[in-house]
Structure 1
Amino acid sequence: MNKNTTILVLDGETRAALAVVRSLGRAGLKVIVASEYPQSLSGTSRFCYNAAVYPSPFDNIQQFVETVSDLIIKENVGVLIPITDATACATLKYQSKLSNLSIIPMVSFETYWKASDKISLMKTAAQLNIPFPSTTFIDPTSRQSIEDHLSTLSFPIIVKPRASILYSNNKMKKTGVRFASNKEELIQILSNDESFTVPYMLQEVIAGDGIGIFAFCNKGEILSEFSHKRIREKPPYGGVSVVCESIQPDPIALESSKKLLKELNWSGVAMVEFKRDSKKNNTPMLMEINARFWGSLQLAIDAGVNFPLYLYNLSQKADIPKINTFKPARSRWLLGDLDHLIIRLKSPMNHPRYPQSLKNKLHAIIIFFMEFLKGSKIEELRYNDVKPFWYAIKQWIKSGLH
């Protein structure tokens, strides 16, 4: 088989990887799945030709890269596709080494980091007059103290690390966004989390709906675009989509995305996230860029926007037409939706982050079961590829027993 028709997809344990594997497998390409776990969701798919294991990039980036390099040579891989921020960051950091062995259809590490670093992104947005939440930038490394800003802050407030992945000394650390209700909580968060020993941001809370602009680009031009509406999320007050449906992109968010991706000269896929600010006429406020595939990727494919295949075609320098239309689709991550239900049933009625619409527990039960009547496609389940669905159920049950 031609080297360029053999694809190595990393992060096989993720839902996005499964969507990529199915898409490329259906296109007749030979897909190898790799994961840091001996078994993975995507590795059970009938479209997986072979499965492999690599060491976690969180423990040792260089060892991870060496293992992936050996796998590329062994399997004669032509195209390497990382799925998560961790593997994207690691492979792009060693892009000069890996690119000699295989095509990585992504931007340079410098461009990737400029998009993933939220501090850099907000400063770029300011230059382009793109709205974003009121933000205070804090740099602990320059003797800048949080005490200098406490008197000017309004609570509650969002505490954001500069990126979802921080790396140093050949290791990575996953970070998380935190929520502080008052000054005491803020100081406690900053004192107990080493993610905030390097520059970070404090942002106002934006209470409106989330907007995602999903894009496929070549040299800064968006060739395909997609958007969805989040129906339910995990956790319920804001997180990953568990039920979503395709919608036309918000024109203001789309225009802002075009400006950003053009400024970055972006090639490949990206998700640009916004939230509507109810205090400012529902203006879409920039939140972040996910510089890789996203969890709800299968919805876009179901709607006719085949982002994984477009990315493969880009790697082969094939002609890629502009596609900005798609069909209606609704997707449900069933086990994520079940988690949403369980969290709501276990949460106190006066949960501080729940709007009134999330406090009715009977309503939570009703909408969970009514979803089966709304034509949603269950994300992991495809009747010609059922093993990933059963694997996901088995893993969900196991996780609940610990």
Structure 2
Amino acid sequence: MALRTSAGSRVTLHPVAIVIGLENAIGLTVVRELGEHGVPVHGVARSPAAIGAASRHCRDWSLRPEGAPADWLPDLITRTSAKAVFAISEIDLIALSQLPPIIGDCHILVPRPQPLARVLDKRRTLEIAAAAGLLVPDTWQPVEGEDFGARAAAMRYPLVAKWANPPEVMAALDQAGLDWFKTAYVHTPRELLALLDRYTPIARWPLIQQYCGGVGLGQMLYMADGQATLRFQHRRLHEWPPEGGVSTLCRAEPADAHAAQMALSEKLLRALEWEGQAMVEYRYEPESGRYWLMEVNGRFWGSLPLARHCNAHFAWEAYRRVVLGQIDAAPTPLDGLRARYMVPETKRLARLLLGPDRIGDPFFHPRPMADLMAYILGFLDPRGRYYVFSRSDPRPFLRDLTQMLRKALRLEKR
């Protein structure tokens, strides 16, 4: 069976895929990518307002039922005749990894429990990476009974704090009324001790690492039987918050750049016994040529839209290899394109213009006027692409815009 696209070409219609998580640009990108390859998508969303549900590539969707996926997914697979299931969030990856890899004749395309546990535990990932020959930052995991004062006095500042295994600690933080953070910067021993003291009630503390300079570099690979079948890499140009977080502007790197590091990334994923897609994240220092490993992201990552625009189709790679049994080589991705995530990119600009003193990275140097000009000129850049906006699939952008306007009006009325 075949579909005729808006360009007039014909695309084979493949078996249905279920995508769990339509709320953000990542889920939307997976839906678009599969749909463009002729895969009918049934989405599962937490709200009718999910932007992925508005895509023309989402054939139909349903509200997420109460309970764990094991309670409702088998029935959904039967009703949709799906042959593949994708998930976006780490919480769903963990839940789905506990299910059999195949339910009936439907493939649950998520990592298996043991490799996933290694990747979610940043400390374990760093240990395996060091053994594989990668450069890792000095890291301290505080534990109960240690002399925090002596250790804090001996550290070299600034430092970065992050949770070794966020999904594992979130419930304890929530129960104690403590906020979860992705990254925190620590400048002095006093700040470090205050940070550690905050989490003493739950006897769980974040990982403490040396600060690594440079720029964000992500190397993405699809692993099958210990070998990479698809590779792509990008450089982070902007993030939200500005000192580190979600990539809001990124640029594809040439395939022949960072070749030796790409080989190390593949070696690391092989050591982790990883199958499927993953992004290996670094801080890259162009001056010294050093690549500091930050973490391995085992889920579909935030900058996935750039990979899609460059024809590095990771969801399709998983589907075609596992569901369709295709083993031919994936096309070589494009390079040089850029992609912007407009909502957080706009928030970043506002922070640079109106609140630069709130930026935690001690080595971040705001350039508000230069960034304002680059923001405006970015709309004219022929290399520019967008995370959500698409001329051929405009409804997700319109839905996203409508939600932002409604939120702004609600705030205005308060």
TM-score w.r.t. the length of structure 2 is 0.86
Instruction: Check conservation: 1:80, 1:104, Cα contact below 8 A.
Output: yes
Per-residue deviation, residues 351-376 of structure 1 (Å, max 9, x unmatched): 55265642x32222211101112121
Q: Following the alignment from structure 2 to structure 1, what is the Cα–Cα distance between the partners of residues 99 and 290?
A: 38
Q: Pick closer, same or farther for the CA change 1:319–1:97 going to 2, 3 Å.
A: closer
- Paired residue for 1:29? 39
Per-residue deviation, residues 155-192 of structure 1 (Å, max 9, x unmatched): 22111211232169899996523222222222232233
1:122 Cα deviation after fit = 0.8
Instruction: Check conservation: 2:246, 2:302, Cα contact below 8 A.
Output: yes
Per-residue deviation, residues 64-88 of structure 1 (Å, max 9, x unmatched): 4423344333323221101121211
1:320 pairs with 277, 302, 327, which one? 327
Q: Pick closer, same or farther for the CA change 1:189–1:396 going to 2, 3 Å.
A: farther
Aligned to 1:107, what secondary structure does the other structure show?
coil
1:283 pairs with 255, 279, 290, which one? 290
Aligned to 1:304, what secondary structure does the other structure show?
coil
Q: Following the alignment from structure 1 to structure 2, what is the Cα–Cα distance between the partners of residues 260 and 342?
A: 38
1:296 pairs with 284, 297, 303, which one? 303
1:195 Cα deviation after fit = 10
Identity %: 22
1:51 pairs with 34, 46, 61, which one? 61
Q: Following the alignment from structure 1 to structure 2, what is the Cα–Cα distance between the partners of residues 66 and 311?
A: 25
- After superposing the two structures, state which structure 1 stretch, 172-181 or 15-24, moved more: 172-181
Instruction: Check conservation: 2:128, 2:272, Cα contact below 8 A.
Output: no
- Paired residue for 2:194? 188
- Paired residue for 1:125? 129
- After superposing the two structures, state which structure 1 stretch, 65-74 or 9-18, moved more: 65-74
TM-score w.r.t. the length of structure 1 is 0.88
Per-residue deviation, residues 131-165 of structure 1 (Å, max 9, x unmatched): 1111123333xx33533522321222111211232
Matches within 5 A, 1:381-400: 381-400=389-408
Q: Following the alignment from structure 2 to structure 1, what is the Cα–Cα distance between the partners of residues 306 and 120?
A: 23
1:216 pairs with 213, 222, 235, which one? 222
- Paired residue for 1:154? 156
- Paired residue for 1:85? 90
- Paired residue for 2:265? 257
1:291 Cα deviation after fit = 0.3
Q: Which amino acid aligns with 1:23?
A: E
Q: Following the alignment from structure 2 to structure 1, what is the Cα–Cα distance between the partners of residues 202 and 294?
A: 19
Q: Which amino acid aligns with 1:12?
A: L
Aligned to 2:317, what secondary structure does the other structure show?
helix
Q: Pick closer, same or farther for the CA change 1:390–1:65 going to 2, 3 Å.
A: same
Matched, 1:239 2:245: yes
Q: Following the alignment from structure 1 to structure 2, what is the Cα–Cα distance between the partners of residues 86 and 232?
A: 27
Q: Which amino acid aligns with 1:281?
A: S
Q: Following the alignment from structure 1 to structure 2, what is the Cα–Cα distance between the partners of residues 176 and 170?
A: 16
> Over aligned residue pairs, what C-alpha RMSD do you find?
2.9
1:326 Cα deviation after fit = 2.1
Q: How many residues align?
A: 392
Q: Following the alignment from structure 2 to structure 1, what is the Cα–Cα distance between the partners of residues 277 and 296?
A: 11
Q: Following the alignment from structure 1 to structure 2, what is the Cα–Cα distance between the partners of residues 144 and 323?
A: 50
Q: Following the alignment from structure 2 to structure 1, what is the Cα–Cα distance between the partners of residues 404 and 117?
A: 33
- After superposing the two structures, state which structure 1 stretch, 153-162 or 110-119, moved more: 153-162
Aligned to 2:251, what secondary structure does the other structure show?
strand
Aligned to 2:106, what secondary structure does the other structure show?
coil
Q: Which amino acid aligns with 2:125?
A: L
Aligned to 2:100, what secondary structure does the other structure show?
helix
Q: Following the alignment from structure 1 to structure 2, what is the Cα–Cα distance between the partners of residues 117 and 148?
A: 26
Aligned to 2:219, what secondary structure does the other structure show?
strand
